[in-house]
């Protein structure tokens, strides 16, 4: 019943976070009804994502030639204070508060078992070697995970593993409700959680 291009669109887009089959179907028809210009604009925006690079220090996206994102290139940032976050959207949310002046490490989304996947282990080892090379020990590592039972479990595991590499290991204060997500917290709540970290 559906034309093949719409079926393919639905398969690809329904696999994205927060978009199921129904939402992908609605998007497909919205695009078709928007006309060729709208489709070409969207296709170009998706195509242009291939030009983005991943920061060699924190794993955030950028377009710079030197391999570092704008945050890691910024000489005013305190590289001895590191916030370890799960995802890029958590970093963006913390940056919006304009209160955090350190740098980041994007670890990758956590499993519910508390076990790190191989990419996460590599990123953690990368952070350890950066700290060793730059100062021997960071002033502070903030483990900025969602306040859920899985976040608590992973905080404990990472705090133990990273404790030799920092003078202080902290986590966000509980301005964020238990079970909440950093990505969806408002700027004031996140700023408060940053200030009341423990």
Q: What are phi and psi of 16, to 5 degrees?
A: -75, 150
Does domain 54-195 fall into CATH 3.40.1360.10? Answer: yes
Q: Report the DSSP pairing between strands 53-54 and 61-62.
A: antiparallel
Report the C-alpha gap between 163 and 140 in whole angstroms: 10
Q: Do domains 4-51 and 54-195 have the same CATH topology?
A: no
Q: Which CATH class, in words, describes the domain spanning 4-51?
A: mainly alpha
- Could you tell me which residue, 154 or 3, shows the higher pLDDT? 3
Q: How many CB atoms lie within 10 A of CB 191?
A: 18
Beta strands in 23-155 (DSSP E): 53-54, 61-62, 78-85, 102-106, 140-144
Whether 176 contacts 182, CB under 8 Å: yes
Residue-wise pLDDT for 101-125, tens only, equals 999 999 988 776 666 788 888 999 9
Report the C-alpha gap between 62 and 51 in whole angstroms: 9
Report the C-alpha gap between 10 and 15 in whole angstroms: 8
Residue 54 is predicted with a pLDDT of 96
User: Does residue 148 carry a pLDDT above 70?
Assistant: yes
What residue segments make up the domains of the chain, in order of their start?
4-51, 54-195
């Amino acid at each position: 019943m559906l034309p093949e291009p719409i079926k393919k669109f639905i398969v690809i887009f329904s696999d994205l976070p927060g978009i199921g089959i129904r939402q992908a179907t609605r998007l497909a028809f919205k695009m078709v009804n928007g006309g060729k210009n709208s489709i070409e604009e969207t296709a170009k925006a998706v195509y242009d994502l291939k030009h983005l690079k991943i920061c060699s220090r924190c794993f955030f996206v950028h377009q710079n030639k030197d391999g570092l994102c704008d945050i890691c290139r910024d000489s005013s940032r305190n590289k001895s204070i590191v916030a370890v976050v799960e995802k890029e959207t958590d970093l963006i949310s913390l940056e919006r508060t304009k209160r955090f002046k350190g740098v980041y490490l994007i670890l990758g989304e956590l499993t519910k078992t508390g076990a790190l996947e191989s990419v996460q282990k590599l990123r953690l080892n990368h952070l350890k070697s950066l700290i060793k090379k730059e100062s021997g020990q960071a002033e502070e590592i903030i483990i900025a995970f969602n306040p859920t039972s899985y976040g608590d479990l992973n905080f404990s595991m990472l705090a133990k593993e990273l404790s030799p590499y920092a003078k202080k290991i902290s986590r966000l204060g509980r301005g964020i409700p238990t079970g909440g997500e950093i990505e969806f917290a408002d700027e004031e709540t996140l700023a408060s959680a940053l200030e009341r970290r423990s």
